[in-house]
Chain A
C-alpha cells in the first residue's frame, strides 16, 4: 500500500480514537441506539446502502430513515421496532470521512473499506464494533512520538480543542493527565517553559479558563491564544495554586526584591494590589504595570503585609533611628509619616514611651539614651511638671536640692556644663542670669575661653542682649 501524506491525518485521527479507547471514553454514539448490524447481515450487501451520506459528507444521509424498518418490521410478520438512529457523537477527534476520501482520491489511492476501521480484525461481515479500529490508522500513519502523551506530541493534529468538543464535566475530568504534569516543578516552571509554541497541545485538554484561574497576567500570548470554553460548557472546578519560588524564601527577599521585580516575573501570580499592600508611597513602574485584582479572575498569590528580616532583630528598636536617618526611602516604602508620629509624638499611652514611662523617665533622661531634646523643648515640656510636682524648687535656689550643699553655687558650674539639659528642665533662664549677666549680682561669665563672642553676636544678638548691654564684642550695637 502506498502511503500518501494526506493519509497521516487519517492515521492520527485513529490514534486519537485509540487514546480515548484506552481511557474508556467511547468515541461512538450512544450505545443504546446501536443497530444490530450482525442480525441484518443478510439483508444489506453494502454499507453505503444505509450510510450513503458518510462518504459524501451529507449529514442527513448518515443513517437510514427509521420508517424504512417498517418494510420488514410491520407488526405482522415481524414485530415492530422503534429504532430512531443514533444521536450525534460527542468526541474530540479531528476526522472527516468525506475529507479523508477526497484526500485519498487526490493521491489516486483507493479508499479503505468501511470494515477496515469499523469491524474488529477477524470479525465477520457486518460485525460492527462499538469503537473504531485504530489499528487501521497505524497501517498508514505513524505517531510523532513514542508516548501518546509525550510533551512533543502534536495533539492538535488529531484532536480538536476542548472548547470545541461540547464535553460534559465528567468527561473533561476524565481526560488523561500526562506524565509531564506530574513533575514537581511543573506548575511553577515546567508548564510555562512548554507552553510557548504549543498552545494547540494545551488546548486539547484545557480552555483559557484553566490558565486564568491561576494566572493574573491574562494577556500572555500563550494564554490569549487558547480558546475559551463556550458558556454551555461546565468546566470542572479548579483551585488556584501558587507554589513559593525559591527566591522568595530568602530571608532578605523583602529587602532585595525591588531590583528583581519585572512585570514578566511577578505578574504570573501577583496583582498590583499585592504590591500596594505594602507599598504606600508612589509605586515603581513595575508595580503600576501589573494588572489590578479587580480586573482578573485569578485570586493571585495574596501577600500578607510584613516587615523585612531586619525588623526581627533583637535590637531593631535601638537601631531603627540610624537606619531611618540614613535611608528614609526604605521606611517610606511601607510606612507613612503618621506611623512614626504614632510613637514619637505620643505623650501618654503611645508606643515610644511605654505606658508607665513617667515613673522612671528620669533614668532615661539622665543617661541621654532617649535624647529628650530631640523631641521635647526642655523648658516648655519639662518645667511645668517638675515645678508642679515639687522636683524644681519653685525656680529658686532652695534647701533640699543639689545635695543640700551650702557650697553648691560654687560647684555647680561643672555640673551645669555636663548636664545642662537637666538644668533647663527645672530652671528658668533668669535663675542663671541673676549671676551670669553683666547686670547680675556677680557678673560671672558663663563662657569658656574658646567662646566665639563675635560669631555669637552675629548669629543671635538678641540672646546676647539677655545678659549684655550692647554689643559685647565692642562693635556696633543692635
Chain B
C-alpha cells in the first residue's frame, strides 16, 4: 500500500497544501544498558544468613539446597539496541474527487540482548493502509484502519462508512479485528504468549451516532467482536461521550458499558472553569476506572473491581513568565469479596502533584514537577526539574534532573533512583528535524531486599522528515 501511495504521489502533480499529499519518514534508534534480573545460582559459601534465618546473596534473597543456592539475582549487564523506521503518506488528488489513500508502515529491529522493547521481534507492521472516498456527507473507507473512541482503539481490516450531514453523524464499520496495538489478527497476536488463545478469527462490527445541537455534542457507540465460527463473543460494549461549552465552563464526560458482563466500565465527568479573566483554571473530575479484558481471556471472568476517584486541579498563569498548578485526588476501590487473611490490603489511594513553569528570559524555560501517589501495594514519589533553551531558531537544548521511587507493585523496596539526562532538538530544515537524548539513572540506598537494581543508561536519536503539506503537523510544532 505504501508503494502504491508513493507511486501515486509521484505520478500525480502536487496540488494545494491540504489537498496534495502529506507524509513523513521517521527513523529512530534507542539504546539501553541495564542489568536484567533472572534466576541464578550461587555457592552456599557466599550466602549470609540474617537474624531471622533468611538467606541472602549480596542483599538478594536466595534459597539453598546443599551447597547450591538459587535466587532472582542481577544478571550481567546488557546493552540493547532497537531501531524503528516509520513511513507514512496520505495522498489526495487521485483524479477522482474525494478519493485519497493512506499508508503507515513500521519496520523494527533490535539487537544486543533479550530484554528488548515490546514487539521487536515483529519486524514489519502495516499500521494503516486504506483508501478513502468522500462524497458530500458520505465517507467510505476500505482497508486497514482504526476506530478511536471512548472504547479505546480498535484496529481492523475492513470497511467503514459514515454519513455526516452536519448536526448528525452516523458511522458503521466492520471487518477482521486486530489485537489492540498490535496490528495482527486477534487470534494470532497472543498465540505465542497466551495459554488460551482463540483459534478462530474475530470479526468486528460497530457503529456510532453523534448529535451536535445547542452547543452540546453527544456520541453513542456500539462495538461488538464475535468469533468467526460464531461460537462466542470477544467483546460487546457501548459508550457514551459528551462535551459541551456553557458560558465560562466546559463540561465533558464519558461512560462505557460492558454488555457481555452486564456491568458498567470506565466513566469520567470533568468540569473546567477559567476565572479571573483566565488567570485561574479550576478543573474538577469524577472518575471510575475498571480494566477491560476481552472475553477470550480468563481475566474478565475474575471480575476486577473498579475504583472511583475524585480529582481537583487548579492552575494559575498570572503573567507571561510564570505558571503553576496543583492537583490532588483520592480514590476508593470497590468491594472485592475476597477473604481477609491476617490483615486486609489497602482499598483506598490518593495522589497529589504540582508543578510550575518559569520562563525567566526569552528562549529559556524551566519546568518543575512533584508527584506523590499512594495506593494498594505501591507508593511513588518523584520530582523532576528540566530546563530548556532555544539556542537558535533551529537548535533547542534540554536538561533534566529527576529523582523517583519506582513503583513495583507489591514488592518491597526502599531504593531511590536519581537520574539526569539531556536532549538536543535540531531543525535541519523546514521539513526535517533531528532529536537526540540520553538519560542516566542510578539506584541509591538499594541495599534493601527484593528490589531490582535500577541502574540504567539510555540514549536515543531520531530523524524526522515531513513531506507535503500538513496542518496537523504545524499545529503540533512547539509542543514537543
Contact = CB atoms under 8 A, between A and B. Distances in A.
> Do these two chains really belong together in a complex?
yes
6 contacts: A322-B254, A325-B254, A349-B30, A360-B406, A362-B408, A373-B180
A348 B172 CA distance: 32
B210 A273 contact: no
A275 B37 CA distance: 56
B315 A315 contact: yes
Contact of B219 (A326, A335, A379, A448): A326
A436 B17 CA distance: 59
Given A326-B242, A462-B296, 7 more contacts: A276-B18, A322-B252, A349-B460, A362-B408, A366-B375, A379-B194, A461-B231
Looking at B34, B118, B254, B380, the one whose CB has the most chain A CB atoms below 10 A away is B118
Interface of A: 272-273, 275-282, 292-293, 304-307, 311, 313-315, 317, 319, 322-330, 334-342, 344-345, 347-349, 351, 355-356, 358-360, 362-363, 366-368, 371, 373-385, 388-391, 393-394, 398-404, 407-408, 410-411, 413-424, 428-430, 432-433, 436, 446-449, 451-452, 455-456, 459-464, 466-467, 478
B102 A337 contact: yes
Contact of B304 (A420, A451, A467): A420
A400 B451 CA distance: 8
Given A314-B315, A338-B88, A366-B409, A388 B36 contact: yes
A269 B127 CA distance: 40
Contact of B241 (A322, A432, A436, A452): A322
Nearest to A273: B16
B41 interface: no
Nearest to A317: B479
B299 A420 contact: yes
Nearest to B72: A400
Contact of B90 (A304, A338, A420, A455): A338
Interface string B328-364: 0000010011111110110100010000000000000
Contacts of B210: 326-329
Interface string B429-447: 0000001010101000000
Contacts of A420: 291, 293, 299, 302, 304
Contacts of A382: 118
B72 A398 contact: yes
A84 to B, nearest CB: 58
B248 interface: no
B270 A319 contact: yes
A466 B472 contact: no
A42 B411 CA distance: 128
Looking at B241, B272, B281, B307, the one whose CB has the most chain A CB atoms below 10 A away is B241
A400 B342 contact: no
B7 interface: no
Interface string B119-161: 1000000011000001111010000011011101100000000
B302 A417 contact: yes
Contacts of A362: 406-409
Q: State which size class the interface on B falls in.
A: 35 or more
A363 B373 contact: yes
A55 to B, nearest CB: 61
Contacts of A449: 337
Interface string B77-94: 000001010001010100
A377 B82 contact: no
Nearest to B317: A314
Contacts of B371: 363
B17 A276 contact: yes
A446 B302 contact: yes
Contacts of B17: 273, 276-277, 305
Interface in B27-77: 28, 30, 32, 34, 36-39, 60-63, 71-72, 75
Contacts of B236: 459
B416 interface: no
A437 to B, nearest CB: 9
Contacts of B36: 388-390
Given A282-B98, A307-B475, A374-B152, A401 B407 contact: no
A412 to B, nearest CB: 8
A346 B232 CA distance: 32
A290 to B, nearest CB: 11
Given A337-B102, A419-B377, A462-B296, A377 B116 contact: no
A88 B36 CA distance: 99
Contacts of A466: 196, 298
Given A371-B266, A459-B232, A388 B190 contact: no
Contacts of A414: 336, 338, 340, 344-345, 347, 376
